[in-house]
Amino acid sequence: MKKSTLLVIMTTVFTLFAQAQYAKLYPSNWWTGMKWNKVQILVHGEYDGFNKEQVRLQYPGVKLLKTTALDNGKYLAIDLEISATAKAGDVVIEFLSGGKVHAVKWPLYNKRAGRGTVFAQGVNSSDLVYLIMPDRFSNGDKSNDKIAGLKDQSLDRSKIYDRHGGDLQGIINHLDYLKNLGVTTVWMTPVLLNDQPERTEHGYAITDHYTVEPRIGGAEKYKALSDALHQRGMKLMQDAVYNHVGSKHLTFLDQPTKDWYHQWPTYTGTSFKDQPVYDPYGSAADKKLMSDGWFVPEMPDLNQNNPYVSNFLIQHALWSVEMFGVDGWRIDTYIYNDLPFMNKCNKALTDEYPKITLFGETWVHGTASQAFFAENNLNVPFKSNLQGVTDFQTLFYGIFPAIKEKFGWTEGVNKLYTTLSNDFLYKDANRNCIFLDNHDLTRVYTEFGEDAEKVKMGIAWLLTTRGIPQIYYGTEVLMKGEKNPDGYVRLDFPGGWEGDAKNSFTGQGLTEQEKSMQDFVKTLANFRKNSSAITKGKLMQYVPDDGLYVYFRYDAGQTVMCVMNTSEKDKTVDFSKFAERTNGFKSGRNVITGANVSSGFQIPAKRMWILELGK
């Protein structure tokens, strides 16, 4: 072979495979055997005019359907069809311009299911979800506390808005603590890259959908966490953000199309008023302001009516489940999204993964308002296919007034009773996620005036009523903090950092009250885990009587009597008043203390008891 020929070959090979940065492809890969087998790749090239390049590929079972030049000269959309005969391997996509050929490898993998890992199994009423902000839970790897080149280089635990160094390894290190506590599912605030100049600790300003935040460990560590959870019989939830991105996201800095984002003449924020979305008398202008207005200037609002945006978001959701073994989704700011788009996205996920769980954040006021955004029994023009919601109604108009307000005809615990009586609005209220606090709310210990007994009442209700219970990290050890500013409800979990004087994982330095709360949660959560009546049974509630609220969880094999005394006086509880459920039972065992009671027992003021009835 002549040297000149060899040089040409070597140059061609170099041109084809050594220029990995010539174009970036989103999604970065796909899988064989997926129902979503028509994939639209968004391609970002190096230079203006890239969208005029020709595209070709030759790979068995993969067909190039079409190439579309987008408004921005740096972007192409490539539509592929992956047939059932396609095998795993590197699909080489060639870009031709000016006589030159550049190529990018686009991996095609075998479906994750082939690895034997149980995933996309769904989260249901038998689970207990534990919400973690990774940066604030535990620092398991100091080497990733700062990452060179990222815009936010803060690292100061004394400042509530700086990064603190918590990471995925820190969570992995303490999964046994969580499992022993009774937790079955870990939900984290978003784990994707937030390369913003500041406020990157929370994760909700995503700047790259296909990069897991390196400061919490990156993609491989996220896979390791998923595997570690599943090996323990636990589950993983991912926090989806479809409504907006961070202002440093590539598609905002260099927008693929003129309408990739909702555009306004000047900055326009959302009204935060959900009513125009479903109001039969509402104006189109109010609805547009609600849905298309931005959350904050740093979070541009995505236009999900743009089909390329829609595909980008849906494919990323599918990609995340397959790549990381996600079992369920909590969907951020659900009510601000384009709702037909959300139906399409939800359907794509459940078509691909029939058991997967989806519940959306619906911070609204009123049970009918909340039910509108979920699968419901309402006669309304738009029908949502969202399985469940984050149930703010049972919080604000339920357990909070039950514990904090004096009893009245419509006040106090009657609000909780009334709110639950409205469950007829939902197709399945048991798929709603219930909670006492989260990363946006005042911590429940502070909410209840630092009264630990009231917190125990709240937790007793949380772990026995209908729905999917979620506990916020640190609630079990009485972490406190006001939501204004929100950084004070996102402080570090005690013991998550080397040198912490207090360690909630080991019990070192905890007060007797904190230990008592931790033991209470552990005892009740583990009882719940093994209770068929609570996790799979029915709920029957009785009209509250002078502050005394009684409800039952029951099935053919078990009956659990839940007695909440919200009054200022001790109350006598007579089984005969609840004969529908107590008939045939003579006693009840307090699942916390182990003590047995019989009809006519007295429950102290401001206490809740959970009794497993026996014959």
Hey, what amino acid is at 532?
A: S
Query: Which sign, positive or negative, has the C-alpha torsion 356, 362, 363, 369?
Result: negative
Q: How far apart are the first and last CA of the chain?
A: 93
Hey, what amino acid is at 428?
A: D
- 104-108's contacts with Cβ under 8 Å and 24+ in sequence apart are 104/20, 104/22, 104/23, 104/25, 105/17, 105/20, 106/25, 106/28, 106/29, 106/30, 106/41, 107/28, 107/29, 107/30, 108/29, 108/30, 108/31, 108/32, 108/59, 108/62, 108/82
Is 398 in contact with 419 (CB distance < 8 Å)? yes
Out of 332, 338, 476, 500, the active site residue is: 332
User: Which residues does residue 54 pair with via DSSP β-bridges, in sequence order?
Assistant: 96
Q: Is 100 left (phi over 0), alpha (psi -120 to 50) or beta?
A: beta
CA neighbor of 423 nearest in space, from 446, 450, 462, 393: 393
* Angle, CA of 580, 583 and 589, to the nearest 5°: 110
Is 337 in contact with 243 (CB distance < 8 Å)? yes
For the chain, counts of helices (H) and of strands (E)? 18, 26
Q: Which two tokens stand for residue 209?
A: 């959908």
Query: What is the enclosing helix (H) or strand (E) of 251?
Result: helix 250-253
For this structure, is 361 an active site residue?
yes
**Other CB atoms within 10 Å distance of the CB of residue 571:** 20
Out of 135, 167, 361, 375, the active site residue is: 361
SS3 212: strand
Cα distance between residue 612 and residue 615, in whole Å: 10
Residue 331's Cα: distance from chain center in Å?
Answer: 6
Cα distance between residue 145 and residue 140, in whole Å: 10
Is 521 in contact with 181 (CB distance < 8 Å)? yes
- CB under 8 Å to 357, separation ≥6 — which residues? 122, 123, 124, 237, 327, 328, 329, 387, 388, 431, 468
Cα distance between residue 466 and residue 344, in whole Å: 28
612: burial class by Cβ within 10 Å (0-12, 13-18, 19+)?
buried
List, as one string, the DSSP characters of 384-449: ----EEB-HHHIIIIIHHHHHSPP-SSSTHHHHHHHHHGGGGBS-GGGSEEES--TTS--HHHHTT
Is 17 in contact with 98 (CB distance < 8 Å)? no
For this structure, is 156 an active site residue?
no
- CB under 8 Å to 93, separation ≥6 — which residues? 25, 41, 55, 56, 57, 78, 103, 104, 105, 106
Is 205 in contact with 297 (CB distance < 8 Å)? no
Question: Catalytic residue numbers?
Answer: 332, 361
